[in-house]
A = this chain, B = another copy of it.
C-alpha cells in the first residue's frame, strides 16, 4: 500500500498572500517525510452555525487563488461545492471536488460533481453509518467517475458532540475506494459555543495517530498560523508549526502498518 496522503490547508481562503504563506509552510512541513499533499481551501462557507459567521471570499476570488497555488506549488488543490450548478466552474480550477457532510445524500450534487470527471472527496454525513456510504459512492460511480474518496469526519453522538468510530474506516474501505480521516472536523463540538462551533485541537493528533495505525489512505487536517483568530473552525485547526512533528510520527506509524 502507498504511504498516506494529506489534504491540508486553512478552513477558508483569506487572500492569495495568506494561501501562499500557508502553502509554503505546508510544503516545508511535508518535505521531511515526503508526504504528498493536496492544498485545501473553501471559498464559501455555506452552512455556518449562524448568520454572523463569515461566508468567505466567493467563488471567483477563491478559485483564482487555488489555481495560483496549484501553479506555483505544483500541488493538486481541492475545494468544496454546495450546489450542482457550481461543480463545473469549480472543476476548472481544482483537481478534487469535495462534497460536504450535510450534503452527502443530495443526489443532484453528487451527480453533477461526478460528471466533471474530477476526483471527488465525499464526507460521510454525521447522520450516516459507515455502510450507508456504499449508496453514496454508488451515486457518484453511476457517472462513470471512479476517482472517489470516502471521508470520515465524525458521527452524531448526543447533542453538540461527534464521535469517531474507527471500525468505520475498514468498513468504508470495503467499497474499494480510498478512505480519508478528517482529523479536524471529527473533533468539532457542533453548535457548542452558541452561535459557533467549538472543538478541541489537542485531539487532532490523537485521532490522526489512531487513523493511521488503523490504516487509512489519507488524512484531512486543517491548519492555520493563528487558529484562534481564524475566520472559521479555529478551535479545531492545528497550528502550522505543529504539522511537521505530527507528520513525523504519522509517517513512522504508517510504515509499521503498510509494510513496503
A163 near B165 with CB under 8 A, answer yes
Interface string of A28-56 (1 = CB under 8 A from B): 00000000000000000011111100010
**A202, B167: Cα distance in complex, Å:** 9
Judged by a CB distance under 8 angstroms, whether A157 is at the interface is yes
Interface string of A43-81 (1 = CB under 8 A from B): 000111111000100000000000000000000000000
Given known pairs A166-B166, A166-B207, the reply for A82 and B106 (CB within 8 Å) is yes
**A202, B213: Cα distance in complex, Å:** 15
Tell me which residues across on chain B come within 8 A of A85, comparing CB atoms: 85
A107 near B139 with CB under 8 A, answer no
Judged by a CB distance under 8 angstroms, whether A1 is at the interface is no
Identify A213's interface contact among B139, B191, B210, CB under 8 A. Answer: B210
Which of A7-15, A235-243, A249-257 forms contacts with chain B?
A249-257
A143 to chain B minimum Cβ distance, whole angstroms, is 10
**A146, B202: Cα distance in complex, Å:** 28
A133 to chain B minimum Cβ distance, whole angstroms, is 10
- Contacts A47-B105, A125-B127, A167-B187 known; list 5 others, CB within 8 Å: A46-B108, A50-B138, A156-B156, A157-B157, A210-B210
The chain B residue with its CB closest to the CB of A111 is B51
Tell me which residues across on chain B come within 8 A of A135, comparing CB atoms: 49-51, 191, 195
Judged by a CB distance under 8 angstroms, whether A160 is at the interface is yes
Judged by a CB distance under 8 angstroms, whether A132 is at the interface is yes
Given known pairs A135-B49, A135-B51, the reply for A210 and B106 (CB within 8 Å) is no
Identify A209's interface contact among B55, B159, B160, B214, CB under 8 A. Answer: B214
Judged by a CB distance under 8 angstroms, whether A230 is at the interface is no
**A49, B134: Cα distance in complex, Å:** 10
Judged by a CB distance under 8 angstroms, whether A177 is at the interface is no
CB-CB contacts below 8 Å: A203-234 with B = 203, 206-207, 209-215
A159 near B129 with CB under 8 A, answer yes
A49 to chain B minimum Cβ distance, whole angstroms, is 5
Given known pairs A166-B164, A167-B207, the reply for A102 and B125 (CB within 8 Å) is yes
